[in-house]
Amino acid sequence: MSIQRLVIATRKSRLALWQAQHVKERLESLHAGLAVELLPMSTRGDEVLDRSLEKVGGKGLFVKELETAIAEGRADLAVHSMKDVPADLPPGYVLAATTAREDARDAYLSSRFASLAEMPPGAVLGTSSLRRAAQIRERHPSLEIRLLRGNVETRLAKLDRGEYDAIVLAVAGLVRLGLAARIRARLSIDESLPAPGQGALGIECLADRDDVLQTLGSLADPDTAACVRAERAVSRALGGSCTLPLGAYAVMERGTIRLSALVASPDGRRIVRAQAHGADAEAVGAAAAQSLIDQGAEAILQALR
């Protein structure tokens, strides 16, 4: 018998609600008679804004409460930004679908300077990401990089109040919120390698819910899923934390996954890069991770622990 009702656990931020609403509308359009409801929740990751994610438990703080709602039967599934999902899910949970990817690049926003290259020494740039900070410091060591936490609107408000000369956010979130006009420049993949899974949405549910898995399968994009699996395999091999200064981005070209990855010291003075390609996502990710390890990635990461 087909499912008649599903409940989506979601964070309360406007972007998270947009993502959950997007999945709700897709499901209802694909499955006649299906009613989908949202269960908005506040997570610890949303509540602790005065410290970096690295110091309070990592991006997994954004998903734990949603998983609890699923385990307790208050929700059937959760919708996540894939870049916020730890490389290993808790036992009993599964990623039922990865949706087609939005633009995975990072966005440069500023009302004062047209580009990173135009920012003078000492200018203040805001980001919450060690990955972004390291890659920007490598190319622009004279900039002052400061912690920037909060949802998209909060970060934009801090920029508009002049607390930062520029900020860097994900293109995907701005596009989804109708804020693409705020983007001054889209940083190239070479300039700022994205986080694993950036731009893609992942839908999580319990592994034993065959009825939910079957329903959610209609949302899956196989090419995006394969690329994201390769990217997450790099993260898993290097410790699995979403907060590592690690970038990984893959594209699918005629059945071949082409993956670029990097690990950086937070100050940007040491960055190791690797590339790998092949048909098997896990193998491609493992090969890139091994290449990074061979070049000294573990020493970089050990210094952070």
- Please say if the pLDDT value at position 50 is more than 70: no
- What is the total count of domains within the chain? 3
Please, are residues 110 and 155 in contact by the beta-carbon 8 Å criterion?
A: no
- In the β-sheet with 166-170, what is the strand arrangement from edge to edge? 144-147, 124-127, 166-170, 106-109, 185-186
> For the residues of 19-51, what is the DSSP string, one character each?
HHHHHHHHHHHHSTT-EEEEEEE--HHHH--SS
Quick one: 175 exposed, middle or buried, by C-beta within 10 A (0-12, 13-18, 19+)?
A: middle
Q: Are 74 and 113 found together in one domain?
A: no
Whether 15 and 70 share a structural domain: yes
Burial of 258 (0-12, 13-18, 19+ CB in 10 A): middle
12 within some domain: yes
Residue with tokens 């410790």: 239
pLDDT of 242 reads 67
CA atoms within 13 Å, Cβ hemisphere of 158: 19
pLDDT (0 to 100) of residue 241: 72
> What is the reported pLDDT for 63?
85
Q: What is the CATH number of the domain that holds 118?
A: 3.40.190.10
Whether residue 228 is found in the same domain as residue 279: yes
CB atoms within 10 A of CB 74: 13
Same domain, 234 and 216: no
Helices 152-160 and 14-30 sit at what angle, rounded to 10 degrees? 140
Residues 80 and 38 placed together within one structural domain of the fold: yes
Q: What is the pLDDT of residue 42?
A: 82
Q: Per-residue confidence at 53, pLDDT binned at 50, 70, 90? A: very low
Same domain, yes or no, for 52 and 32?
yes
Q: Both 300 and 283 in a single domain?
A: yes
Please tell me the predicted confidence (pLDDT) of residue 44: 63
pTM above the 0.95 mark? no
- Which pLDDT tens digit goes with each residue over 181-228? 999 999 999 999 999 999 999 999 999 999 999 999 999 999 999 999
Apex 46 CA angle, 43 and 171, nearest 5: 120
Chain segment 11-48, per-residue pLDDT in tens: 999 999 999 999 999 999 999 999 999 999 987 655 55
Catalytic residues: 84
If asked whether residues 96 and 114 sit together in one domain, one would say: no
Give Dmax over CA atoms of the chain in angstroms. Answer: 64
Residue 71 within a domain: yes
Domain that holds residue 235: 221-305
